[in-house]
Amino acid sequence: MAEENKSDAKKYNHLISHYKLRQALGVLGILLPVLVVVIEKTVGNAEACQPSISHYFYSKAHVLFIGALCIMGALFCTYHGEDNKESRIANITGICAFLVAIFPTGQSGFLPACESIKSNDIIACISCSDNFVEKDYHSWYMYIHFGSAVLMFLMIAIFCWFYLTKPEQDEHDKLYLRKKKNRNRYYRFCAVGILISLLVCYLSFREDKILPYNTVYFCETICLWLFGSAWLLKGSYGWKDSRNPMFKMLYNVVR
């Protein structure tokens, strides 16, 4: 009997860790596009809103940008799915996150801050020399960066559509089934939203520039928010044991 209790406790702790891992990924995805802007706005010396999140590599927020991607990569690489296929997709996603951090986008398009010179009212821009400047940058870095970013978001969309919607416990309960269907609809909405955002990103690279300069930033932000909220929702099972009454209330709403 004691052995069974130990086994159940071990399994329970494993599940709680699994849910916390999902929540950590969700929080990281939601906060990244917000924090890079806040940091650059408060302590940086470049434009707060850059053309893409990747351009923050050359700003004062580059430590946060690289660190967040490396943490995300590590979390995905340590994620174990219910089968080998799910684990492999998670590993691919994690590797792509590392590659996006290691191989930056080109510095072209980075927006340094501008200040007015009072003597002759000429607008002069602070150069990138005060930030993190690319050195020995090779053009093929850009292909690895963009390819890895696109593949990472595609893998996340696959997660949302196929794996976050998989059956869970209590499938016989009618109230649970109704809420599960609603959650599945949201997961698939996130998957479609990510794919549409990627398509808009592709259109933003057209030579006629019919879309605003920071379209990629907003599309990447949408992708990360959809990804983050989906993983938070998937990890919400652990909220029922939270000491925070707000999480318990949210648990009763979504589950």
The Cα 121–Cα 251 span in angstroms is 58
The Cα 244–Cα 236 span in angstroms is 13
Residue 153 C-alpha from the chain's centroid: 9
- What is the model's pTM? 0.82
pLDDT at residue 131 above 80?
no
Burial label for 149, CB within 10 Å (0-12, 13-18, 19+), is buried
State the total domains in the chain: 1
3-state DSSP call for residue 122?
strand
Report the percentage of the chain scoring pLDDT > 90.
44
3-state DSSP call for residue 214?
coil
| 24 compared with 199, residue with greater pLDDT | 199
Give the domain extent around 217.
2-254
Per-range mean pLDDT, top range of 81-90, 145-154, 159-168, 201-210: 145-154
Lowest mean pLDDT among 11-25, 143-157, 222-236: 11-25
pLDDT of residue 246: 80
Interval 168-224: pLDDT, tens: 765 567 777 888 899 999 999 999 999 999 999 998 887 667 888 889 999 999 999
The Cα 199–Cα 219 span in angstroms is 9
Give CA angle at 155 (250, 151), nearest 5°.
135
pLDDT of residue 112: 78
| 31 compared with 47, residue with greater pLDDT | 31
CA-CA-CA-CA torsion sign (75, 20, 198, 182):
positive
